[in-house]
Amino acid sequence: MIIERRESVSVWRAGLAPFWAILASMILCAFLIAWAGAPIFQAYGLLVKGAFGSSFAINETLTRSIPLILTGLAVSVAFRAKFYNIGAEGQLYAGALAVTYFGTGLITLPTGLMIPFLILMGGLAGGALLLLPVLLKTHFKVDEVVTTLLLNFVVLLVVSFLIEGPWKDPMSLGWPQAASIIDEGVLPTLLAKGRLHFGLIIALVLAVVIWLMMKYSVFGYEIRAVGLNAKAAEFSGIKVNRTVILTAMISGGLAGIAGVSETAGLKGYLTLDLSPGFGYTGIAVAMLAQLNPLAVIPSAIFLSAVYVGSDAMSRAVNIPTYIADVLVGVSVLAVLCSVMFSQYKVRWLK
């Protein structure tokens, strides 16, 4: 058996790859649902209903997709340059720390200035956290995967220290949480009912901006060139290290903004359970989107629906909620496979 590159890849074949991956993941998870003793189709029906069945459900699904769009964008930009930033989780919390530092009374600006200011600070904080791993990669050839992963743990401990110590809100009745973001800094809600907030607009605009940048700007071209073949890019005059560092800053910044949006938009204050692993799920979002910034939007909404829907499903038919995490993990592996087979074919040798 040998695996060889297809001479041409049709748009259909490439475009369908993520859907095959989703189908495969759902079939695999169907075994787990069957094991839990629940009827498979009813369970998936409950999942869809839990995610999209009512205006409340749709509202929740969209709300939860906001951080996933942003971390998904963060991962897709970085992975395009073959810079494996697995630290979106930590960068998200770095953004949340920045918004808590500046947004809880240190500075007061009118809302129209306060929100952009907080977003900028959160983005800078997220980018700054990625500075060490990217410089270690470009200048010392230290693998960025391990450093970004380890920093996730460090940042979480810093958050834990701050909200249990110096930043602890005295009004919180003993719960470890920081003070609330001042009213000028809180992202407005979009609808009269539900939790959907302005973060969605920010995420959608950023997705379009990043897409335009990747597709039409020279810098976007450089990112793609570095990712495809760093050596060739170097020879053609692209400053590879500079490109990787800037890519990392954008990636970290996007994840940092996810932290701003969650803190100032959804929760209102910083806690240790601000993110149930949005940074890691962002990897799955980006992979399902095949690193395309626009495709990140439906991909994030899909995975958000999986989480929101599986909450409802597991309550109704008694399946552990971890089924959603299993589906996310499997989909990363499945999409790797399906994208590969859209580009390669297997030839059986006699």
Residues that bind other proteins (CB under 8 A): 2-3, 32, 35-36, 79, 84, 86, 132, 136, 140-143, 145-147, 149-151, 153-154, 157-158, 160-161, 164-165, 280, 283-284, 287, 318, 320, 322-323, 325-326, 328-330, 332-333, 336-337, 340
CA of 98: how far to CAs of 103, 109, 142, in Å? 8, 16, 27
Closest contact distance (angstroms) between CB of 160 and other proteins is 5
Q: Rounded to the nearest whole angstrom, what is the least distance from the CB of residue 340 to other proteins in the complex? A: 6
- Least separation in angstroms between CB 322 and other proteins: 4
Dihedrals phi, psi of 142, to nearest 5 degrees? -85, 130
Nearer to other proteins, 62 or 308 (CB): 308
Closer to other proteins by Cβ: residue 54 or 343: 343
Least gap, CB of 159 to other proteins (angstroms): 9
**Do residues 121 and 102 touch, judged by C-beta distance below 8 A?**
yes
Q: Are strands 2-5 and 344-347 parallel, antiparallel or unpaired?
A: antiparallel
Nearer to other proteins, 42 or 160 (CB): 160
Environment class of residue 277 by beta-carbon count within 10 Å: exposed (0-12), middle (13-18) or buried (19+)?
Answer: middle
The full DSSP string for 143-164 is -HHHHHHHHHHHHHHHHHHHHH
Considering the complex, what minimum distance in angstroms separates the CB of residue 82 from other proteins? 9
Number of CB atoms found within 10 A of residue 347's CB: 9
- Give the phi and the psi of residue 346 in degrees, each rounded to 5: -100, 130
Cβ proximity to other proteins: between 115 and 159 the closer is: 159
Smaller CB distance to other proteins: residue 221 or 344?
344
The smaller minimum CB distance to other proteins, of residues 232 and 337, is found at 337
Closer by beta carbon to other proteins, 120 or else 136: 136
Between 210 and 328, CB nearer to other proteins = 328
Least distance from other proteins to the Cβ atom of residue 347, Å: 12
In angstroms, give the least distance from the CB of 344 to other proteins. Answer: 8
Separation of alpha carbons 195 and 204, rounded Å: 17
Q: Is 268 left (phi over 0), alpha (psi -120 to 50) or beta?
A: left
Minimum separation from the CB atom of position 43 to other proteins (A): 14
Q: What does each C-alpha distance from 212 to 120, 219, 225, 290, 299 come to in angstroms?
A: 20, 11, 16, 16, 18
**b vs e for 39-69, b when ≥16 Cβ sit within 10 Å of the residue's Cβ?**
ebeebbebbeebbbeeeebbbbbbbbbbbbb
Instruction: Output the smallest distance, CB 112 to other proteins, in A.
Output: 37
Select 182 or 283, whichever has its Cβ closest to other proteins.
Answer: 283
The secondary structure element, H or E, covering residue 205 is: helix 199-216
Backbone dihedral angles phi then psi of residue 73, each to the nearest 5 degrees:
-65, -45
- Strand runs (DSSP E) across the chain, as ranges? 2-5, 344-347
